[in-house]
Amino acid sequence: MKNKFRDYPILEAKGKSIPIFYPHIPKNAKKSVSKVLSTRWIGQGPLVDLFEKKFSNQFCDGMPVIAVGSGTDALHLAYILGNIKKNDEIICPVFTCTATNIPLLYIGAKIKFADIDPKTLNISIESVERLITKKTKAIVFVNYGGILNNLDKLNQIAKKNKIILIQDAAQSLGAQYKNKSITKYADFTIYSFQAIKHITSGDGGALIVRNKFLEKKGKRIRWFGIDRPKKQGGTWENDIREVGYKYQLTDLGACLLLDSMKEYKKIKKHRNSIYKTYLKNIVQNNKIQCIQTLDKKADEVMWLFTIVSPYKDILQKKLREKNIETNQVHFRNDRYSIFKKFVKNKSFKNMDFIQNKYLVLPMHTKMSIIDAKRVSLEINRILKNID
Ligand SMILES: Cc1ncc(COP(=O)(O)O)c(C=O)c1O
């Protein structure tokens, strides 16, 4: 079809424009990268080890960390280490970045999509409970936009049914639940350090596991199936017994992450201030609602600010005219052809209701609190003019 509207092209970041995302580059980045470039290790070297140690202490209450090349790598590795096999039933969020679900297609697992909770856009607990069968091997859940899923309830369900819990925390770096790292509430937790996440190495990720056995196995699979410390120590027997791949992070990426981790408190404060500014200034009524955190036991750091409005298209268009970029970011996964065989005769009532109404507003460390106020006031003005 000719000229059919699909989406707005990326907004150029210049002048007073407010792009939806912008990478956070730590102050010391150029110096650190340049230092790495003058060493022997630019691929996976000692800085990756150092990153894993520091990341574990700062964000994972000391749990083992496997640094990888992306959040998608971390998910794939989690599914392998979770022993997910062909035809195993896996309960997954219907609304997420496709990276959550795509690795399961490589394995040949049976995806059982769960509907969303319309208040948080996270996986709905009722929907999860309805999908559990004797064949359910794992539940995969996402903390959408930084808002934690119901971790207590998911843990109860998993324990009762002897199911593995896999937490896609790509959007909730550094969050805590009841004063503990969220990594304590799942068998596997993944993080993403893709360009627009809280901290970034351009692309990168981490998988957090529960024990040393899985850590060692994960680190072998990260490197073709080779025990790298043994190989580098000259004691490897020169045999590969398990199928691995190449999922590693590089020292170039690790140096950026190490610098960003030092700035994490500031990043968290800024992102949460933008979140609070939107909440305080956007007038919520029957024309617009904000997706917000509800759980008092959660200490979160926001990654997305999402509104729900029947006037989503008008809002997006009018904001764009003011050089403010908004987007839906993620789309329901059941509509993608690659998942077609899992969704025949399935319905997702809450997803159906919200699919054309949600919209993500700008949030990043390059924008100011005044920018967030400007976006909020524009939204109020646009909606006020609609009868
Ligand atoms: C919820 C979620 N899961 C997984 C990913 C995949 O991470 P990556 O892009 O680092 O592979 C992302 C981000 O891209 C994400 O937002």
Give the ligand 1 atom nearest the CA of 73. 11
Domain assignment present for residue 75? The answer is yes
Q: Is 247 in the pocket of ligand 1 (CB under 6 A)?
A: no
The string of pLDDT tens digits covering residues 128-140 is: 999 999 999 999 9
Q: Is 170 in the pocket of ligand 1 (CB under 6 A)?
A: yes
Residue 384 C-alpha to ligand 1 middle, in angstroms? 36
What value does the mean pLDDT take over residues 253-282? 98
Number of structural domains the chain divides into: 2
Residue 143 C-alpha to ligand 1 middle, in angstroms? 11
Q: Is residue 161 domain-shared with residue 285, that is, in the same domain? A: no
Q: Is residue 308 domain-shared with residue 321, that is, in the same domain? A: yes
Q: How far apart are CA 46 and CA 27, in angstroms?
A: 22
Q: Which of the 8 DSSP states describes residue 384?
A: H
CATH number for the domain spanning 191: value is 3.40.640.10
Out of 76, 97, 327, mutate this one to test ligand 1's pocket (max ligand atoms within 8 Å of CB): namely 97
pLDDT at 261 over 70: yes
Q: Is residue 306 domain-shared with residue 242, that is, in the same domain? A: no
Domain assignment present for residue 163? The answer is yes
The string of pLDDT tens digits covering residues 249-259 is: 999 999 999 99
Q: How far apart are CA 99 and CA 92, in angstroms?
A: 11
Domain assignment present for residue 52? The answer is yes
Q: Is 172 in the pocket of ligand 1 (CB under 6 A)?
A: no
Domain boundary among 262, 294, 329: 262
Q: How far apart are CA 99 and CA 345, in angstroms?
A: 24
User: Where does the pLDDT of residue 352 fall: very low under 50, low under 70, confident under 90, or very high at 90 and above?
Assistant: very high
The string of pLDDT tens digits covering residues 61-113 is: 999 999 999 999 999 999 999 999 999 999 999 999 999 999 999 999 999 99
Residue 19 C-alpha to ligand 1 middle, in angstroms? 19
The string of pLDDT tens digits covering residues 220-232 is: 999 999 999 999 9
Domain assignment present for residue 201? The answer is yes
Q: Is residue 239 domain-shared with residue 137, that is, in the same domain? A: yes
Domain holding 213, by residue range, is 29-262
Q: Is residue 185 domain-shared with residue 272, that is, in the same domain? A: no
pTM: 0.97
Give one DSSP letter per residue of 172-215, joined into a string.
-TT-EETTEEGGGGSSEEEEE--TTSSS-SSS-EEEE-SSHHHH
Domain boundary among 200, 232, 262: 262
pLDDT at 3 over 80: no
Q: Is residue 258 domain-shared with residue 285, that is, in the same domain? A: no
- Within 13 Å, how many C-alpha atoms sit on residue 51's CB side? 31
What value does the mean pLDDT take over residues 1-8? 70
Q: Which amino acid is at 255?
A: C
- pLDDT for 12 equals 86
Domain assignment present for residue 15? The answer is no
pLDDT at 2 over 60: no
What are the residues facing 242 on neighbouring strands? none
Domain assignment present for residue 198? The answer is yes
Q: Is residue 205 domain-shared with residue 304, that is, in the same domain? A: no
Spatial CB neighbours of 288, under 8 Å, sequence gap ≥ 6? 282, 307, 308, 309, 311, 379, 383
CATH number for the domain spanning 305: value is 3.90.1150.10
Q: Is 149 in the pocket of ligand 1 (CB under 6 A)?
A: no
The string of pLDDT tens digits covering residues 22-47 is: 999 999 999 999 999 999 999 999 99
Q: Is residue 163 domain-shared with residue 269, that is, in the same domain? A: no
Q: Is residue 152 domain-shared with residue 168, that is, in the same domain? A: yes
Q: Is 293 in the pocket of ligand 1 (CB under 6 A)?
A: no
Q: Is residue 55 domain-shared with residue 192, that is, in the same domain? A: yes
Helix (H, G, I), strand (E, B) or coil at 369: helix
Residue 224 C-alpha to ligand 1 middle, in angstroms? 23
Q: Is residue 98 domain-shared with residue 173, that is, in the same domain? A: yes
pLDDT at 1 over 60: no
Q: Is 121 in the pocket of ligand 1 (CB under 6 A)?
A: no
Q: Is 145 in the pocket of ligand 1 (CB under 6 A)?
A: no
Out of 121, 167, 190, 192, mutate this one to test ligand 1's pocket (max ligand atoms within 8 Å of CB): namely 192
The string of pLDDT tens digits covering residues 162-189 is: 999 999 999 999 999 999 999 999 999 9
Q: Residue of the nearest CA to atom 8 in ligand 1? A: 71
Domain assignment present for residue 234? The answer is yes
In 3D, which of 231, 191, 164 has the Cα closest to residue 67? 191
Q: Is residue 35 domain-shared with residue 138, that is, in the same domain? A: yes
Domain boundary among 262, 293, 321: 262
Domain assignment present for residue 12? The answer is no
Residue 95 C-alpha to ligand 1 middle, in angstroms? 13
Residue 33 C-alpha to ligand 1 middle, in angstroms? 24
Residue 152 C-alpha to ligand 1 middle, in angstroms? 24
Residue 94 C-alpha to ligand 1 middle, in angstroms? 15
Residue 74 C-alpha to ligand 1 middle, in angstroms? 9
* 154 neighbors 125 (Cβ within 8 angstroms): yes
